[in-house]
Amino acid sequence: MKEQIGFERLTGLIAFARAGSLGSYTAAARSLAVSPSAISKSIQRLERHLGVTLFTRTTRALTFTPEGRDLHERVLKLLRDAEEIEQVAKSARSEPAGTFRIATSLPIGLHMIAPAITIFRQRHPKVMIDLRLSDHISGLTEESIDIAVRIGELADSSLISRRLSPYKLCCYASPAYLAMHGTPQHPDELAGHQTVNLRYQSSGQVFRWPFRMGEKEIEIVPSSSVIVDASEGVLAAIAAGAGIGMATNFMADRWVSRKELVPVLADFAVERHNISAIWPESRRSNPAVRAFLDMLIELF
């Protein structure tokens, strides 16, 4: 008779699958809410039981051995099957309940999703929210994510998506800065002002500022004296009077309502329609996904 798989080996397979998908023990530990040492020990026990080495480890990288790569594909299939069983059980309920995992970037999470969570839980008190904020885009299935909200154009995939409402990209500055330096009336006048720009953490590239000029859209890269690698930092800097910066209206609206920021060059602001909710096919009939998507469409 075949030996039945034990709980310890199941946890080892889950740890191995997550580490392989995310590329590090630290990322796997963060996604599973355990310590990196727990991930390491689980994988070591699995390797001893199987009698094979699954990863080649260096100080900088975690790469599969040939045996590890083959096993990883098999384990992912096993976990996808387990996910489908769970989703079938959840879809049998008409009322959303249980843990609902949402993934999004920090700006969208802070300014759109986090404020909406209270409304969602008031409507569906049996749901427990697990909100994960990161600019790292990983496999939703591998991390057991129910729905993600992303900004930008989506890569072709098997995921289901729904566009949310458009937003605007506009320049902003503090009232004190504008009182001291004046308000530009055209993007060409930005050359005579202090500006604060964003550097993308993923690529190291600075943000190119788009402006609507009649029927055309142009982009400029201002010569900024302050560059920040987080959009919240850009807003904080310009609110403190560091200069003029560009941000999305859904991020800046609260600063504007508190009169800490003022829109600048609003006639040249551009509209974007690239915020999307995405979810795996296996979540199509999940009541919580349907309810959360309905709420996002209602609010945004």
CATH of residue 281:
3.40.190.10
Residue 238 to residues 28, 92, 201, 202, 271, Cα–Cα distance (Å)? 36, 50, 20, 23, 22
What's the pLDDT tens digit per position in 163-189?
Answer: 999 999 999 999 999 999 999 999 999
Residue that finishes a domain, picked among 91, 109, 128: 91
Averaged pLDDT for residues 150-169: 86
The reported pLDDT for the residue numbered 102 is 95
What's the pLDDT tens digit per position in 14-46?
Answer: 888 888 888 888 888 887 888 888 898 988 988
In the block, tokens 């349907």 appear at 290
Inform me whether the pLDDT recorded for 208 exceeds 50: yes
**Is 1 a member of any domain?**
no
What is the Cα–Cα distance from 79 to 90, expressed in whole angstroms? 16
Residues 202 and 244 grouped into a single domain: yes
The reported pLDDT for the residue numbered 90 is 59
The reported pLDDT for the residue numbered 1 is 42
Residue 247 to residues 64, 168, 198, 199, 253, Cα–Cα distance (Å)? 41, 8, 9, 13, 10
Residues 31 and 148 grouped into a single domain: no
What is the Cα–Cα distance from 90 to 92, expressed in whole angstroms? 5
Q: Please answer whether residues 54 and 15 qualify as being in contact, where contact means their C-beta atoms are separated by less than 8 angstroms.
A: no
Closest by CA position to 255, among listed 269, 238, 273? 238
Residues 193 and 214 grouped into a single domain: yes
Averaged pLDDT for residues 111-115: 93
What range defines the domain where residue 69 resides? 7-91
SS (H, E, C) 210-228: EEEECCEEEEECCCCCEEE
What CATH number does the domain containing 25 carry? 1.10.10.10
